[in-house]
Amino acid sequence: MADVQEMDVDSEEVKLKDDNVVNKTINPTPTTSRPSTTSSITSTNVSGSSTSKKSDGRPWIEKYRPVNFSDIVGNSETVSRLEIFAKEGNVPNIILAGPPGVGKTTTILCLARTMLGPSYKDGILELNASNDRGIDVVRNKIKMFAQQKVTLPKGKQKIIILDEADSMTEGAQQALRRTMEIYSKTTRFALACNTSDKIIEPIQSRCAMVRFGKLSDAQILSKLLAVCEKEDVSFTEDGMEAVVFTAQGDMRQALNNLQSTYSGFGHVNSDNVFKVCDEPHPLLIKDMLQHCVSGNFEDAYKIMAHLWKLGYASEDIISNIFRVCKNESIAEYLKLEYIKEIGYTHMRIVQGVSSLLQMSGLLAKLCQKVAVPDVSQ
């Protein structure tokens, strides 16, 4: 998904308000269907200026990128281990693997900064997917940097950062093998990737693998609240819940969604967030599921047809149904059945059958799960 969401002020949600059929189903006090993580949230006043005076045009993901280890939220065990490495020197070659937007690049930069101090600029070579990283670059640029003499604090080594290393060709990775060993006295490699299986085995064997997990809702929320305070953002509790819901454990996404909503509307509430993120509103999905639980196919279908008419992709709808269902208060056995059916439908959509009929079929199955069997037959 793109880092910065498009803003569409008069999007479907506005139309949605005029739609009597569906509007009836919307709860008058919108909240997302997530379990509340917001006990500590205090809503700020809606009135006030809509644009922050503190805004300096920089995206918040860069403005609030942690500079020290202590600013990094989540994955605390992993981060503190790296912090010790950085302070004591003698870092092994490392691979940081994990989903997008959880702080891998940030952590490597913190590590280099802590380790090298004032020599930070001279002591690192950073290459990411935007650089050419074919075999020639490994042979020339990386080797040259490794051979270069740089004055560093005692017991510290130069760091070569290979960000998004999973997009390096296999040939380039193969060429790294010997380089890693030959210059091991003076140089350390730090690789970041989303999927570690795209890193060839010999490189994995030369590195310590550090895994990053998705961030929890509470961790994302704590950072969002800190940013809101610094930027003087006016928000409501459900607005924050909505940002956390749309982010799905990705801090970059959360900050981008927060900033997009704030710059688009000047106020962060759940309606504005879903307009900016252009996702099916979880409240509609929640109502649709409730209709299925009460075996009411007609009304459930009305909502699905409405979402379809609004043009949402079936992938978006199904992933939203899953996220809402996961946190919905439905009887346990039924939830398991529902998730199974949602999973099957997702599989069929991925295989290419993503029609409205497919989605309606899912609703029929969900309604059927609660239907009382006709014993008279």
Ligand X SMILES: Nc1ncnc2c1ncn2[C@@H]1O[C@H](COP(=O)(O)OP(=O)(O)OP(=O)(O)O)[C@@H](O)[C@H]1O
Where does this chain bind Mg ion (CB under 5 A)?
A: 105
CA 55, chain centre distance (Å) = 24
Task: Tell me whether residue 192 or residue 321 sits nearer to ligand X (CB atom).
Answer: 192
Partners of 274 in the β-ladder: none
Q: Interface with ligand X by CB under 6 A: which residues?
A: 61-62, 64-66, 72-74, 100-106, 192, 194, 223, 251-252, 255
Q: Give the residue with the Cβ less far from ligand X, 156 or 214.
A: 214
Query: How far apart are CB 111 and ligand X at their closest, in Å?
Result: 12
In this complex, which beta carbon is closest to Mg ion, that of residue 105 or of residue 260? 105
3-state secondary structure of 127: strand
Q: Identify residue 233 by its one-letter amino acid code.
A: V
Cβ count within 10 A of residue 240: 27
Nearest approach in angstroms of CB 207 to ligand X is 17
Residue nearest to ligand X (CB): 103
Residue 215 or 284 having the CB closest to ligand X: 215
Amino acid residing at 45:
N
Amino acid identity of residue 323, one-letter, is: R
Q: Which residue's Cβ has the minimum distance to Mg ion? A: 105
What is the rounded end-to-end Cα distance, in angstroms, of the chain?
A: 50
- Cα three-residue angle 78-80-86, rounded to 5 degrees: 105
Neighbours of 151 (CB within 10 A): 7
Is 97:196 a contact under the CB 8 Å cutoff? yes
User: Which CB, 191 or 317, lies closer to ligand X?
Assistant: 191
Closer to Mg ion at the Cβ: 105 or 270?
A: 105
Return the one option of Mg ion, ligand X, none that residue 216 interacts with (CB less than 5 to 8 A, by type). Answer: none
Q: Are 85 and 47 in contact (CB under 8 A)?
A: no
Partner that binds at residue 173, options ligand X, Mg ion, none, CB closer than 5 to 8 Å by kind? none
What span, in angstroms and rounded, lies between the C-alpha atoms of 314 and 319? 8
Residue 29 CB, shortest distance to Mg ion, in Å, is: 38
Q: Which does 283 bind (CB under 5 to 8 A by kind): ligand X, Mg ion, none?
A: none
Question: CA-CA distance, 256 to 101, in Å (whole number)?
Answer: 11
The single-letter DSSP state of residue 372 is P
Residue 370: helix, strand or coil by DSSP? helix
Nearer to ligand X (CB atom), residue 70 or residue 90: 70
